[in-house]
Structure 1
Amino acid sequence: MMIKNICCMGAGYVGGPTMAVIADHCPNIQVTVVDLNQQRIDAWNDSDLSRLPVYEPGLDFVVDRARGRNLHFSTDVDSAIAAADIVFISVNTPTKVKGLGAGQASDLRWVEACSRQVANAAQGHTIVVEKSTLPVRTAETIRTILEASQAPLQEGEVPKSFAVLSNPEFLAEGTAIRDLECPDRVLIGGEDDDSINALADVYMHWVEPAKILRTNLWSSELSKLTANAFLAQRISSINSVAALCESTGADVQEVARAIGTDSRIGPKFLQSGPGFGGSCFQKDILNLVYLCRHFGLPEVASYWESVVELNTWQQHRISRLIVQRLFGTVTGKRVAILGFAFKADTNDTREAPAIRIALDLLEEGAQLAIHDPKVEQAQIARDLREAPVELDPATGKSQGLSGVGSWLSANSVEEAVEGADAVVLLTEWSQYKSLDWQDLSRRMRRPAWVFDSRTIVDPDQVRSAGLRLWCVGNGSL
C-alpha cells in the first residue's frame, strides 16, 4: 500500500509535533493536521514561529522546514479525511469527572466523535490509527463504529473499508522532537499485516527497522499505559525515599546515585522532586486502576492507585513544610513561585505540581508571585481558578484582601522575589540554576527561605547570601 496522504485529527501536544516530524522526513507524503479550534490552527499557521501553540525545543525549525511544502494545518476536517490513506486520532482523553468510572476512567467522547466523522467522510480504504493514549480494547469501539458505516452502496459509490491500528506515542514533553527523531522504539499493534507494513514504511524513512515493534492491538494499547505507570512508579518511589532521607540525615541524591549504578535498576527517573505531572502519568495510572477493578483485580488496582496517592501526598507535604518553616503561617506573606509548567522546556501545565502547591498556599492566605518563562498568565489563572491581583503603584504590594490568599504574575525573577519571605523552585528551568542569590537576597524580607524542590541551586551560594535553604531529600541541610 502506497501512502500519499496522512490526516491527523488533533493539533495538540502529540499531534502537532508528531506530524511535523513525519512531514519533515517524508517530503513525498502530504500531511494535514486538523482541529476544530480555529485559534489553535491559526497559531500553527502563524508566520511568527515563536507563537506556535506548543513549545518544544527544536519544533519551530521542523515546522519551518515542512510547513507549506507538505505540512498543512486546517479546520476543514472532512476534506482532509477524504483525501487520507491514514488517519491518526490524536485527541484529548481526559479522566471522566462524572458518571460511570468518574475520577479514573478515560472520557472517550472525542475519540468516538472522531471515529464517527472518519466513518462518514472517508473514501476507499483508510487506515485508522489510535495515537491518543487509550484504554485496552478501545480499538474494538472504533472498529464497531467504522464497520457500521459500511452500508449498502448506492450506484456509483466507491466501497469503504477500514483497518484499525494502535500506534501509541512514547515521547516526553520537553524532549519531544529528540524522542520523535531518535525513538527507543515505534510500536504498531494490529491484525492486518498490509496496514501494519504501510505504517511501518512511513516510519522507516528515518527509524531503523529493528526499532519498529509489531504486536496485537491489545498488547499495544496496554503497553502505553504500563510504560507510563512504571515511570510514575519510579518517581513516587524515589520521593518516598526522599522523605525518609530528610528524617534520617541521608541525601537522596547519593542514594539515587548508589542504586542507579545497579544495571538492573538504572539511573533514569530517580530524581526526587515535587512529584510527576503532565497529561499522561496520573490519567493513565487511574485508567489502569479502573481497568483492574473492572476485570476483578482489586489488589492490583490498589497497588497502582498508591502510586498516585503518594504523588499527591508529596505535593501536600511540600506545602505543609513551607508553612511550618515560615513560623507556622503564610497569611499575608509574599511567596515567590519560580516555575509553573509541570517540567522544564514545555509550556504545559496539566497536572503540574505547582498547581496543587500553589492552591495549598493560597488557602493558607499567602500572597504568591508566580514566574514562568513560558506559561502565560491566562493559563495560570485557569489552573488556579482565580484571577490575578494587581500591584499597588504606591506601595508596590499586591492589592489583595488582607488575610486572603492571592497571586500575581511576575515578569522577572527579580520582580517575583521583591519583598518575599520565601522562594519556592518548582520547575527545573535552566535559568533558575544560575540565579544571583546575593542580589535576590537583598530584595527579600529577612529571615528568608529558599525551598528547592528540584535540587538545582548551589547550596553554598544560597547560604552565603544569608538565606535559609531546604532541598528535597537532603536531611543534612
Structure 2
Amino acid sequence: MRLTVFGTGYLGATHAACMAELGHDVLGVDVDPDKIAALRAGRVPFYEPGLEELLAKHTASGRLRFTTSYEEAAAFGRVHFVCVGTPQRKDSDAADLRHVDAVVDGLRAHLGDAPALVVGKSTVPVGTAERLAERLEGKAELAWNPEFLREGFAVQDTLRPDRLVLGVRSEPAEALLREVYAPVIDAGTPVVTADFPTAELVKTAANAFLATKISFINAMAEVCEATGADVSVLARAIGHDERIGSRFLRAGIGFGGGCLPKDIRAFAARAEELGTGRSLAFLREVDAINLRRRERTVELSRELCGGSLEGKRVAVLGAAFKPDSDDIRDSPALDIACRIHLQGAEVTVFDPEAMDNARKAYPALGYAVSAPDAVRGADLVLHLTEWPQFGALDPAELAAATARPRIIDGRGFLDGARWAAAGWEFHALGRPAQPRQERP
C-alpha cells in the first residue's frame, strides 16, 4: 500500500521506516528541507537503536522516500499519517496544536476526489479528532491511531506493539487500517477499536498512569528519607503484589523527556477546559513530586559538599533524559547539572550519545570524553541517566581518579554494596547511605 507520513521527527521517521519494513511504499513529508535532505541520505537526525539501519535499507530499495511537497504527498497515497509534535504551549500547560492543524489544512488543500483516510497519531487533547474531522469533511475521512512508543525501543514498539488502538467511525476505515497493520495483527497484536474520544484518551490516560506510578514511589522515597527506611526494599516488597507490579517502581530523580511531563500537564489543562478539573487535580501533585526529586538531589549534593557547592568539582554521568536516547528535552540530569552549576560548582558531564545536543543547549557546562575523564578530580559524582555502560564501570578504577570518592545514584540503578566495597561513599535517593569501606 502507498502511505504518507507527515512529520519526520522522532515519531514520524520511526513510523515511516517501520511501515516500509512492513512492506508498504512510504513517502515521508516535512517542511524542513535540511531534515529531508538528511533522511534522503539515510541519516537519522537523532539516536534511536535500529532506526538508522531500517532507514538506510528502505531508502536504498526505493520503498521509502521523502519530500517537502504537500501536493506530491496528497497524490501519492490513500492513507496519510499525521505524526507531528504537540509541544506544551508557551503561555499555558495546554498542548500546542499548530503543527497538527497545519498538516491537516495543508493536506486538505491538495486532496482530490479520490477516497483518502487521514490517520492521527500525534498525542492530542480529547476532542481534537472531532474538530479535525469537521475540517476534513467532504475531502477525507479521519481516524485516530495513537502511538505508544518508548524512546530506545521505538522500532520494536512499532513492529511488535503490545496493542493497536483504532479510533474509527466506519467499517471501511477500520478495514483499511487493519490492512495497513496486517503483518502486526497476524503476529498476534491485540486490536482495540474505539470511538474518537476514547482513542485520544488511551494515550493520555496511559501516560498519566505511568507518571503517577513513578511519582508514587518517589513520594515514598521522601517518606523513607525522613524515617530511615529503604525505598528499594519497599518497592520490591509491594511489587510482588500482582495488583501493583514491580515495573517503574524504582525511585530516583524522576521522569523527563518530550512527552510525559507535557502530556500530563496538557491532560490536566484539558480537564479544566471540560469542567472536570477536579478529576485530574492529582496530576498537579504528580508533577510537583517529580520536580521535587530534582531539588532534593541538588540539596543532597550541597549537604555532602559541606553546605556549599561553591568551587566544588562535580561530575555528572548522564545527559539524556533516559538511556538509549540522545533526547535531552526536559532532562532531569541536565536540569540538576545546571542548578548545581548556578550554585558555583564546576560541573563536567558525560553521556554516551547526548553530548552534542547537551553542548548546544548548555554551553556553560563542561563536557568530558569518557566517564573516567568526567570524574577526574571530582569532589562528588552524580549518576543521573541509567546507561548500562555506567553500571559496568569499574568503581575502584573511578575512585582512584576522584578527589573524593563520593557518589549519588540518582536512578537507583547502581549496586551500592559494590561501590561501597570499592571505597565509595554511596548515596541513593530514599535509601540509607552506604559508607565507604576501607580497602585492604
Length-normalised TM-score, structure 1? 0.87
Q: CA deviation at 1:268?
A: 1.4
Amino acid at match of 1:287: A
Residue 96 in structure 1 maps to residue 112 in structure 2: no
CA deviation digits over 1:16-53, x for unaligned, max 9?
Answer: 11221111012xx2111111222222332335xxx522
- Identify the residue that residue 110 of structure 1 maps to in structure 2: 99
Q: Does 1:425 align with 2:425?
A: no
- CA separation in 2, counterparts of 1:175 and 1:109? 28
**What's the counterpart of residue 33 of structure 2?**
38
Q: CA deviation at 1:380?
A: 1.5
Q: Residue deviations 1:225-244, cap 9 Å, x none?
A: 00000001000001111222
How far 1:136 moved relative to its partner?
Answer: 0.6
Which amino acid is 1:318 matched to? T
1:114 is paired with a residue of what secondary structure?
helix
Which is further off, 53-62 or 9-18? 53-62
Quote the residue 2:159 is aligned against.
181
SS of residue in 1 equivalent to 2:179: helix
Shift of 1:313: 0.8
Give, as a single letter, the amino acid of the residue that structure 2 aligns with 1:410: A
> For the residues of structure 1 that align with 2:131 and 2:87, how far apart are their CA atoms?
17
Root-mean-square deviation (CA, aligned residues, Å) is 1.7
Q: Partner of 2:437 in structure 1?
A: none
In 2, distance between residues paired with 1:456 and 1:131? 33
Q: Quote the residue 2:149 is aligned against.
A: 171
Deviation string 1:222-270 (CA, Å, 9 cap, x unpaired) is: 1110000000100000111122223323222221121111111112111
1:441 aligns with 2:434: no
Match of 2:75 in 1: 82
Instruction: Look up the equivalent residue of 2:109 and give its one-letter code.
Output: N
Partners of 1:315 and 1:357 within 8 A in 2: yes
Matched, 1:238 2:235: no
Number of the residue aligned with 1:136: 126
TM-score, scaled to structure 2? 0.94
| Aligned position for 1:402 | none
CA-to-partner distance for each residue in 1:167-222, whole Å, 9 max, x for gaps?
Answer: 00011111112222221100010212201210121112222466111100110001
Distance apart, 1:475 and its partner CA:
2.1
Using the TM superposition, give the Cα deviation of residue 428 of structure 1 relative to its aligned residue in structure 2, in angstroms: 0.6
Distance 1:207 1:254 in 2: 40
- Which runs of at least 4 in structure 1 moved beyond 4 Å after TM superposition? none
Matched, 1:12 2:1: no
Rounded Cα–Cα distance in structure 2 between residues aligned with 1:97 and 1:269:
30
Task: Tell me how far 1:456 sits from its aligned partner.
Answer: 2.6
Q: Which residue among 236, 252, 260 is the counterpart of 1:257?
A: 236
Give 3-state SS (helix, strand or coil) of 1:23's partner: helix
Q: SS where residue 60 of structure 2 aligns?
A: coil
SS in structure 2 opposite 1:164? Answer: strand
> Aligned partners of 2:432, 2:235: CA distance in 1, in Å?
14
1:470 partner SS: strand
Q: Is the 8 A contact 2:425 2:433 kept in 1?
A: no
Unaligned ranges ≥5, structure 1? 151-160, 389-406
CA distance in 1, matches of 2:360, 2:105: 31
- CA–CA distance in structure 1, aligned partners of residues 72 and 407 of structure 2: 55
Where 2:158 maps in the other structure, the secondary structure is: helix
Aligned to 2:66: 73
The one-character-per-residue Cα deviations of 1:90-122 (angstroms, maximum 9, x if unpaired) are 111111112xxx1x1111111111111111112
Contact 2:322-2:385 at 8 Å conserved across structures: yes
1:362 Cα deviation (Å)? 1.8
Q: Is the 8 A contact 2:130 2:196 kept in 1?
A: no
Match of residue 191, structure 1, among 163, 169, 194: 169
CA deviation map 1:302-322 (0-9, x unaligned): 211111111111111111111
1:396-420, Cα deviation, whole Å (9 max, x unpaired): xxxxxxxxxxx11211112211111
Residue 331 of structure 1: how far off its partner (Å): 1.2
Alignment of 1:49-60 (within 5 A): 51-60=43-52
1:203 is matched with 181
Look up the match of 1:119.
108
Alpha-carbon distance between aligned partners in 1 of 2:226 and 2:203, rounded to the nearest angstrom: 36
Deviations, residues 141-182 of structure 1 (Å, cap 9, x unaligned): 2223223xx5xxxxxxxxxx3111110001111111222222
User: What is the distance in 2 between the residues matched to 1:300 and 1:122?
Assistant: 41
Aligned partners of 2:18 and 2:155 also within 8 Å: yes
Give me the identity figure in percent: 35
Q: Tell me whether 58-67 or 345-354 shows the greater mean CA deviation.
A: 58-67
Conserved 8 A contact 1:432-1:456: no
Whether the 8 Å CA contact 2:117–2:140 is kept in 1: the answer is yes
Q: Does 2:432 align with 1:475?
A: yes
AA at the equivalent of 1:45 = R
The one of 295, 299, 303 aligned to 1:320: 299
- Which amino acid is 1:34 matched to? V
Equivalent position amino acid for 1:420 in 2: A
1:293 is aligned, of 262, 269, 272, to 272
1:196 and 1:279 map into 2 onto residues whose CA distance is: 30
Distance, in Å, in 2 between the alignment partners of 1:216 and 1:303 is 26
Specify the alignment match of 1:395 in structure 2: none
Per-residue Cα deviation, 1:341-368 (whole angstroms, up to 9, x for no partner)? 1111011111111132122112211111
Q: Secondary structure at the match of 2:407?
A: strand
Deviation of 1:329 after TM superposition, in Å, equals 0.9
1:59-99 deviation per Cα after TM superposition (whole angstroms, max 9, x unaligned): 2332233223311223233202221111111111111112x
Checking the alignment, whether the CA contact within 8 Å between 1:248 and 1:475 is kept in structure 2 is: no
Superposition deviation, residue 382 in structure 1: 4.7
